[in-house]
Amino acid sequence: MAKRALYSFLCSILGGTAIGISGVIYLTVENTVLGALFFSVGLFIVCTFNLNLFTGKICYIFNNKPSYTGFCLSVWLGNLIGTWLVGSAVKITRLSGLCERATAIINIKLNDTVLSVFLLAIFCNILIYIGVEGYKNNPHQIGKYLGIIFGITVFIIAEFEHCVADMFYFTIAGAWSGRAFLYLVVITLGNSIGGVLIPLVNKLRVEI
């Protein structure tokens, strides 16, 4: 049991690492559309290697036992560690210049209203659910990956809020503060609500 929990937590750290790497790619590419497209490599890694990502796992909270909530919280923490490791490592490499671009992104987020980031987080995880569920259940091989690519690309271009990506941006920008943590909690709640909207509607449809 302990080994399984450790393995799961390591998968959560690696899930955060994958999103952190996506963040590096996005900051490196000047063209926003291309950056958004290549950001999808993070969810591709997570889905392909069955890693743990909070924004994906939270979508299935109503399909599992109450203890699943604790699992999701551990995934969130593991993702935080993974993104922190990537962000901290990049800051001591020749890519440290990316910190300036990350700071510009973070300033936009922190100067936004709480309601705004909350709503943008809801929109984000509707797309994440579509991507993850499509990968799991789309019978067509190409369709599995198109769900990931389009879901991620759209939420990046639309500037929706993704709590795990923001963990990375806060770290590389050196912007952690009480306000940053508050916004991260709000974004996490928004992602959680957005992730369960479609599953709940589908459940209601089945019951009807």
The string of pLDDT tens digits covering residues 46-90 is 999 999 999 999 999 999 999 999 999 999 999 999 999 999 999
Domain count along the chain: 1
How far apart, in whole angstroms, are the C-alpha atoms of residue 1 and residue 49? 21
How far apart, in whole angstroms, are the C-alpha atoms of residue 11 and residue 51? 5
- Share above pLDDT 70 across residues of the chain, in percent, rounded to a whole number: 98
Locate tokens 């952190």: which residue?
20
Asked whether residue 94 carries a pLDDT value surpassing 90, the answer given is yes
The tally of CA atoms less than 13 A away on the side-chain side of residue 11 is 19
Q: What DSSP designation does 177 have?
A: S
Asked whether residue 207 carries a pLDDT value surpassing 70, the answer given is no
- For the segment 188-197, the average pLDDT, to the nearest whole number, is 97
pLDDT at 74: 98
CATH number at residue 47: 1.20.1080.10
What's the start-to-end Cα distance of the chain, in Å? 39
How far apart, in whole angstroms, are the C-alpha atoms of residue 208 and residue 203? 9
Handedness of CA 132, 137, 141, 143 (dihedral sign): negative
Closest alpha carbon to 12 in 58, 61, 70, 78 = 78
- For the segment 190-197, the average pLDDT, to the nearest whole number, is 97
* pLDDT band, residue 141 (cuts 50/70/90): confident
Q: Using an 8 Å Cβ cutoff, are 83 and 164 in contact? A: yes
List of residues 6+ apart from 80 with CB closer than 8 A: 16, 164, 167
How far apart, in whole angstroms, are the C-alpha atoms of residue 148 and residue 131? 4
Can you give the residue range of the structural domain that contains 52?
2-207
Mutual angle of helices 68-90 and 2-28, in 10-degree steps: 40
Q: Using an 8 Å Cβ cutoff, are 16 and 167 in contact? A: yes
pLDDT at 203: 75
Closest alpha carbon to 124 in 44, 72, 55 = 55
Q: Transcribe 89-110 into DSSP letters.
A: HHTTSGGGGHHHHHHHHHHHHH
What mean pLDDT, rounded, does the chain reach?
95
